[in-house]
Amino acid sequence: MDRILEIDPVSRTAVVEAGVINKSLDVAVAVHDLAFAPDPASSAISTVGGNIATNAGGLRCVKYGTTRGSVLAVRVVLADGEVVCLGGKTRKNATGLDLLGLIVGSEGSLGVIVEATVALIPRPWNEQMILACFDDESALERAAEAVARSRVVPAAFEMMDRESIGVVGERLLRLLDIDRLGAGLLIVRTDGAGASAEIEALAASLSVPGVRPSRRLSAPESELVMQLRRGSGVEGVGDPQVGSDDRWWLGEDMTLPIRSLARYLRHARSVAASHEVRISHIAHLGDGNVHPSLTLAKEYGSEEDARTWLQAAADELVRFALAEGGALTGEHGVGLAKLPWIDEALSLEVREIQRRVKRALDPNGILNPGKAL
């Protein structure tokens, strides 16, 4: 199911089968100066159906929203084999209960999406980028608050800490005349007609103590930075096997209120020390969506031991995020890995409503049994 069935440049919509790869759709609509807004770092391998099933996010979300905002309709096969269409072709639709919204992010637990009508955006143009180095968590907090108060919505606002940038990244930054990295890097991008004025406004906002905004980057330089960001490879599925040759690895995904980010990062530092693991972070900073990457030297033990060990450290991070009012998952979904925390993330009443919805649509529990709910 990998066919693009229709692209309508006037209504700015596309109808696709569920197996169309995110990147392929984006390339196909580019000839009409349109874009598919969801841009997970997995865009080259993930499908539109999977994006909808997990309500995927990405770098553009801070301005263009998560997948939820880009889905107008889905054709879904229900547990009893019935095929239903939810939603329609128009952006506005206030008819009845939002059953389309129920399917988005349901991780295949309520039905199998076979086709989708997606909303497209005018292709982002005139992209402008600056970087900013920050000295410590307090400086990062000041930067995040300054951008939030700036009255400009950036097209991307990302954070990479020193460790996730790595040696290659530091070399790249020196090529861009950035020689004092500090604790990490902010990537700030604007787009559209007002992009130049907006990037200047954001650079001015970021002139706060402990933060050093860079000059404006050229287009090829910006592309190199995006490659660095996308290649950081720490947004995964919590599988320690996806580590380097000598380290076990576990990736996480939570959200926090912007005001809690600095406190969270300090907490993560103390968790790393007390559990004797390494924790580095990249974040979709504008959305408060953090991706900690926890690693442990393989010499410490087997994969199973490592999983237990890393999970214990991850547990402290997740609980902290929940206590601060954050969400258990910002964009990867619950799956199996996050089920142990679901009772802390959702109240008993909400869990019961979810169970009732599941029973109504899948009474025999045949759709992704044991996952997500």
Residues near ligand FAD (CB under 6 A): 18, 40-42, 46-47, 49-51, 53-54, 56-58, 107-108, 112-113, 235-237, 331-332, 368, 371
Residue where the block lists tokens 């214990």: 312
Instruction: Write the burial class of residue 94 (CB in 10 Å: 0-12 exposed, 13-18 middle, 19+ buried).
Output: exposed
DSSP conformational letter for 107: T
Element (H, E) at 188: strand 184-190
For residue 322, report the phi and psi dihedrals to the nearest 5 degrees.
-65, -40
- Output 1 or 30, the one with its CB closest to ligand FAD: 1
- Output 61 or 140, the one with its CB closest to ligand FAD: 61
CB of 350 to ligand FAD, least distance (A): 20
CB of 364 to ligand FAD, least distance (A): 17
213: three-class secondary structure by DSSP: strand
Distance, CA of 280 to CA of 162 (rounded, Å): 8
- Output 12 or 230, the one with its CB closest to ligand FAD: 230
DSSP conformational letter for 182: B
CB of 206 to ligand FAD, least distance (A): 24
- Output 178 or 337, the one with its CB closest to ligand FAD: 337
Closest residue to ligand FAD in the complex (CB): 50
DSSP conformational letter for 21: B
The alpha carbon of 80 is separated from its chain's Cα centroid by a whole number of angstroms, namely 33
- Output 161 or 235, the one with its CB closest to ligand FAD: 235
**Contacts (Cβ under 8 Å, ≥6 apart) of 128:** 189, 190, 191, 195, 196, 198, 199, 216
Stated length of the chain: 373
Distance, CA of 6 to CA of 9 (rounded, Å): 10
- Where helices occur in 123-176 by DSSP H, the ranges are 137-148, 162-175
CB of 341 to ligand FAD, least distance (A): 17
Nearest of 373, 367, 369 to residue 78 by alpha carbon: 367
Which amino acid, 95?
Answer: T
CB of 76 to ligand FAD, least distance (A): 8
- Output 57 or 288, the one with its CB closest to ligand FAD: 57
CB of 178 to ligand FAD, least distance (A): 24
- Output 213 or 243, the one with its CB closest to ligand FAD: 243
CB of 266 to ligand FAD, least distance (A): 25
- Output 104 or 139, the one with its CB closest to ligand FAD: 104
CB of 238 to ligand FAD, least distance (A): 10
